[in-house]
Amino acid sequence: KDWRELETGKTLQLDVAKRSYQQFDLAKVEAAVEIILSSKCVEHKVWESKEVKMGQNDRVLLPLLHKVLEPKDIWRVYQAQISSENQVSKSSFYKILRLLTAEENYGLSSSESPLHTQLYEPMRNLLRMVVGHVRAEALEGYLQYLDTMVLFLREVYPSHLVQDDECATHSINHALGLAEEKKIME
């Protein structure tokens, strides 16, 4: 159709795509980030990380932050501490919050969670002891051991808690000696 109109001498009306630019006030964004990163809003898990996209090709591993409060409550904290003329919009705030924190439910990440009390807190104590008492030249190796232990306990260990499994390392009954006790009683 356009070609035929050009042949007849008509000029074409071109639709120009409009482009938009995101503009933001750096001070407002920094204030939002400061509130989000406060200990009353998020907590840091020592051995967890999140891959964040920084541009088209760059990705960076950052410590994973878990929300201690619901997102709406973090927004209320932000509103209470920052004057309205120095705030980012609500949608921008939630976008920043999503970028900085974990996707998972905030309720599972409180400091009372079993994962926190049974794994992360003891590992933090071990980390403090290792850093405080291990020679500098051997420190890196010990830190790698700690990382391996946490990874095993968090990701692999639950699969070893099967009630009845022929493999001795996967059976909780075998580990507690209940399998042998059962055989003796039969």
Blockwise average pLDDT, block size 10, the chain, 186 residues: 70 63 80 91 72 76 81 94 92 89 56 61 79 85 83 73 65 67 60
Residue 110: partners with Cβ closer than 8 Å, 6 or more residues away: 68, 116
Q: Residue 131: what pLDDT? A: 82
Residue 2 CA to chain centroid, in angstroms?
52
Q: Residue 73: what pLDDT? A: 93
Helix ranges, 46-102 (H): 71-81, 90-100
Q: Are 91 and 32 in contact (CB under 8 A)?
A: no
**Which residues are 60's β-sheet partners?**
52
The model's pTM: 0.47
Q: Are 174 and 160 in contact (CB under 8 A)?
A: no
Q: Residue 43: what pLDDT? A: 80
Quote the CA–CA distance of 39 and 30 in Å, as a whole number: 16
Q: Residue 34: what pLDDT? A: 93
- DSSP H or E run through 90: helix 90-100
